[in-house]
Amino acid sequence: MKKIITCLIIALLFCCKNTYAQHIIVDYNIETNSLFNEEKDFEGIAKEKSKEIIEGFNRSLKLLNSMKAHLIASKSESYFWFENTMPSDINIMDYDMAKIMIGYGDSYYSNQLSGNYTHFFSAYGIKFKIKTPVDSLIWKLSKETKIIGDLKCFKATTSYKVKNNLREHTVEVIAWYDPSLQYNFGPKGFSGLPGLIIELKDDKITYSVDTIKFKESKMKTIKKPNGKLITKEELEEYGEKAQQNFNINRN
Amino acid sequence: MAVVMFASSLISMSPSTVTSIDDPTFNHDECSNEYDSRLLLARFVGFSNAQAHEMAGNAYQYCIDNVDLRAGGYWNYN
């Protein structure tokens, strides 16, 4: 009986917090869920060299386990960013590669009213921002559930494509969201689900909620970074030019 | 005779002889290869062009610094 009463009180407190909270602050842990395992022969690269590079990529991937990410969200907007909590007494190149892999320094602003999310990032020495419609991600909602901590989460899946000069890579994304938390946001601009994303598997990296703080005060206006607004196609044009400049300068 | 022996000993001790044997070649060719290899592999495993370029560019710069450090070390002690 005591147990039932305690559970009811906790549930009631949680509901009250959730109902009266104006915004939330979510801390996500980052975990590497798989490594690169490429056994392919590449023309012009010695097998030992490609093995050495892939091993370096994997060392950097593993380092991401010690990084954190944060989301601040109201019912209508959210902002997501990374925090560098990697140890500094490590191989400097692995450390820098890890930062590039995760997109350390990048941030994401989502707004339900505009229906867009904006990715702020640096590339080729320039600060950029790219706006993407939230509904460009087609979520498949599933009835499959999983208990994460005390939260009953539902599964949703989607995918997106990363196109580079060599190939097009399809990235599968699995999200676990809690419909009882009506903040329809999550890591890296992934949003549009009927609840807060508690866990997100994005290719080789998994973001999982560590803590959620419910705040009764109104969310402060988010100070977004500056950046030149461009499209993905324009970014590729910048890339071509940067590559050409690099090739001229190194010869 | 003594003059000839002295002259030949000077020749054998000439720094140019030592340098031609031990002087390593310091150039940045290996760094260009490092850049190209990393760029290709980063693209192959699925990183975007921007990420691949940054990863390869970083490795290139570390390689340049390393070659320059080795060269500096060599020329300081030779």
- Using one digit for the tens of pLDDT, what is the confidence trace for A145-169? 999 999 999 999 999 999 999 999 9
pLDDT tens, position by position, A190-243: 999 999 999 999 999 999 999 999 998 889 888 899 999 999 999 999 999 999
Q: How far apart are CA A120 and CA A3, in angstroms?
A: 47
In a domain, A154, yes or no: no
- In residues, how long is chain A? 251
Q: Which residues from chain A sit within 8 angstroms of residue B60, using beta carbons?
A: 250
In a domain, A222, yes or no: yes
Of B41, B45, B54, the CB nearest to A100: B54
Q: Report the percentage of chain A scoring pLDDT > 90.
A: 76
Helices A47-63, B29-45: axis angle to 10 degrees equals 60
- For residue A124 the two structure tokens come to 């080729």
- Would you say B41 and A230 are in contact if contact means Cβ atoms under 8 Å apart? no
Of A49, A96, A124, the CB nearest to B37: A49
Q: How far apart are CA A146 and CA B26, in angstroms?
A: 58
Count A/B contacts: CB-CB distance under 8 Å: 83
Give the pLDDT score at B24.
Answer: 65
Interchain proximity A50–B37, CB inside 8 Å? yes
In a domain, A125, yes or no: yes
Query: How large is the greatest C-alpha to C-alpha distance in chain B, in angstroms?
Result: 74
* Phi (first) and psi of residue A25, to 5 degrees: -120, 120
Give the pLDDT score at A168.
Answer: 95
Nearest residue to A240 via CA among A85, A152, A127, A123: A123
Binned at pLDDT 50, 70 and 90, residue B19 comes out as very low
Of A100, A123, A246, the CB nearest to B58: A100
In a domain, A221, yes or no: yes
Task: State how many domains chain A has.
Answer: 1
Question: What's the predicted TM-score (pTM) here?
Answer: 0.84
B6, exposed or middle or buried, with CB in 10 Å at 0-12, 13-18, 19+? exposed
Any B CB within 8 A of A242 CB: yes
Q: Which residues from chain B sit within 8 angstroms of residue A242, using beta carbons?
A: 53
Interchain proximity B47–A97, CB inside 8 Å? no
Range of the domain at A61: 2-134+210-250
In a domain, A114, yes or no: yes
Q: What is the DSSP string of B11-55?
A: HHT-HHHHHHHH-----SHHHHHHHHHHHHHHHHHT--HHHHHHH
